[in-house]
């Protein structure tokens, strides 16, 4: 089963993302900030990482570049959840090795359709 790591400091967003993914038959693991996400990533393997950008302890951009340093995450798709669709944010994500981005507010069907592009 496709296993997805969902990293967001907002419970409700995380719940919604996970609920949506589970409804579509994906397996999810949750983390509530970048640091926790990184720890969980080191302990398991994932087919996809979806992460928020603004988080306490470790932000999503840092998480992304940390993950890319791990051999097992070299090719793993990493999607950033952002509210701003500004080019600046995308560039920062790209520079850190992110695969793509999901713009909040997200709509469930769209989310599923979008992640099909990478897993």
Q: Which residues bind another protein (CB under 8 A)?
A: 9-13, 15-16, 19-20, 23-24, 54-56, 74-78, 81, 83, 87, 94, 97-101, 104-110, 112-113, 116-119
| Minimal distance, residue 43 CB to another protein, in Å | 20
21: Cα separation from own chain's centroid: 12
| Minimal distance, residue 58 CB to another protein, in Å | 13
Kindly write down the DSSP assignment for every residue of 46-80, as one continuous string: -SEEEEESS-SSS-HHHHHHHHHHSGGGSS--EEE
| Minimal distance, residue 60 CB to another protein, in Å | 12
Nearer to another protein, 63 or 101 (CB): 101
Nearer to another protein, 39 or 83 (CB): 83
Q: Whole-angstrom Cα distance, residue 12 to residue 45?
A: 25
């Amino acid at each position: 089963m496709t296993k997805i790591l969902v990293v967001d400091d907002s419970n409700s967003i995380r719940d919604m993302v996970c609920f949506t993914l589970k409804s579509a038959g994906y397996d999810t693991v949750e983390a509530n900030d970048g640091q926790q996400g990184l720890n969980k990533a080191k302990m398991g393997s994932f087919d996809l990482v979806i992460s928020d950008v603004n988080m306490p302890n470790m932000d999503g951009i840092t998480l992304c570049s940390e993950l890319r340093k791990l051999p097992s995450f070299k090719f793993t798709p990493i999607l950033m959840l952002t509210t701003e669709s500004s080019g600046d944010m995308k560039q920062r994500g790209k520079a850190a090795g992110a695969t793509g981005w999901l713009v909040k507010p997200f709509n469930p069907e769209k989310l599923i359709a979008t992640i099909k592009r990478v897993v």
